[in-house]
Amino acid sequence: MNAAFWTELPEAVNAIDRASMARVIVISSTGKHFSAGMDLAVFQNMGASYAGEPARRAEKSRRHILQLQNAFNALEDARIPVLAALQGGVIGGAVDMISACDMRYCTQDAFFCIKETEIGMTADVGTLQRLPKLIPEGLVRELAYTGRNMMSEEAKSCGLVNHVYADQKSLLAGVMKIAKTIAGHSPLAVAGCKEMINYTRDHSVNDSLNYMATWQSGMLQMPDVMEAMAATKEKRKPVFENLLPIDSL
């Protein structure tokens, strides 16, 4: 995750979402490990910037961290589901990233590590905020305080990943099959699912039900429902229109 990564990733995700270029995004990697996290050069650049008047230096540092956070917020904010296919090490900033994805899948050799604690800092781009919503808080605390590796089977048993595959080849085949199934559904219905699940995570049940009713009063139109019912009756795959592109302001 070098300096360019933090601008190129959100730009790519936002471009796909704005133009409705796809119905699912799958993030995968090549090589032995998924990602070792933040490039050391980024840390070195941050260290070099720790100079000057303290208050202004702190304000600049805060804006920099918010910019890094926005790189992964883009995964959560996209209208379409984002799936992570993980192999080998998922370390440091990589845990921040995959925590912002909708679903996670991994190989048997995968392991997860909140590495930041070992190098003298607190993880600051999403792990500590999102991970407690995905797995038990006590486990998050253990992983964060100790910096130990969580292996694939433990990740599966606690719910961090949905499925563990034997190797990367079967991982990618399996995840792409899931992505294809999602892409065959109404994009509007899938976007609604993502919006509601994300909203419910951060709000009470009552607030979430109220938001659901408001959403449905505008978004529940009949064309997609009628097409799904007709396709079932005619024993064919339904055909749905893409979401409309988001016009630039």
> 94 and 115: one domain?
yes
> What digits encode the pLDDT tens for the residues 200-239?
999 999 999 999 999 998 887 878 999 999 999 999 999 9
**Last residue within a domain, chosen from 142, 159, 183:** 183
Under 8 Å between Cβ of 210 and 199: no
Q: CATH number, domain at 108?
A: 3.90.226.10
Average pLDDT over residues 114-122: 93
> What digits encode the pLDDT tens for the residues 127-150?
999 999 999 999 999 999 999 999
> 27 and 105: one domain?
yes
> 38 and 87: one domain?
yes
Split into its structural domains, the chain has a count of 2
* Percentage of the chain exceeding pLDDT 70: 96
Average pLDDT over residues 172-181: 98
Average pLDDT over residues 153-159: 98
Q: Does residue 171 sit within a domain?
A: yes
Average pLDDT over residues 176-185: 97
The mean pLDDT value of the chain amounts to 94
> 164 and 198: one domain?
no
Specify the pLDDT at position 174: 98
| pLDDT: which is higher, 203 or 248 | 203
- 59: containing domain: 5-183
> 170 and 202: one domain?
no
> 58 and 96: one domain?
yes
Specify the pLDDT at position 47: 63
Q: CATH number, domain at 213?
A: 1.10.12.10
Q: Does residue 238 sit within a domain?
A: no
Q: Does residue 40 sit within a domain?
A: yes
Q: Does residue 242 sit within a domain?
A: no
Tokens representing 131? 């991970």
> 45 and 127: one domain?
yes
Amino acid identity of residue 213, one-letter, is A
> 173 and 138: one domain?
yes
Specify the pLDDT at position 153: 98
User: Out of 27-36, 44-53, 116-125, which region has the weakest mean confidence (pLDDT)?
Assistant: 44-53
Specify the pLDDT at position 11: 97
> 45 and 96: one domain?
yes
Q: Does residue 245 sit within a domain?
A: no
Q: Does residue 9 sit within a domain?
A: yes
> 219 and 177: one domain?
no
Local confidence band at 249 (pLDDT 50, 70, 90 cut-offs)? low
Candidates 88, 111, 84, 92; CA nearest to 39 is 92
Residue 164's DSSP bridge partners are 106
> What digits encode the pLDDT tens for the residues 47-82?
666 677 889 888 888 998 999 999 999 999 999 999
> 45 and 142: one domain?
yes
Q: In whole angstroms, what is the distance from residue 42 CA to residue 245 CA? A: 34
Q: Does residue 120 sit within a domain?
A: yes
Please, what is the end-to-end C-alpha distance for the chain in angstroms? 30
Under 8 Å between Cβ of 115 and 91: yes
Q: In whole angstroms, what is the distance from residue 188 CA to residue 20 CA? A: 11
> 88 and 166: one domain?
yes
Q: At what angle do helices 5-18 and 54-77 cross, to 10 degrees?
A: 40
pTM over 0.85: yes
Residue with tokens 């996290």: 37
Candidates 221, 217, 195; CA nearest to 208 is 195
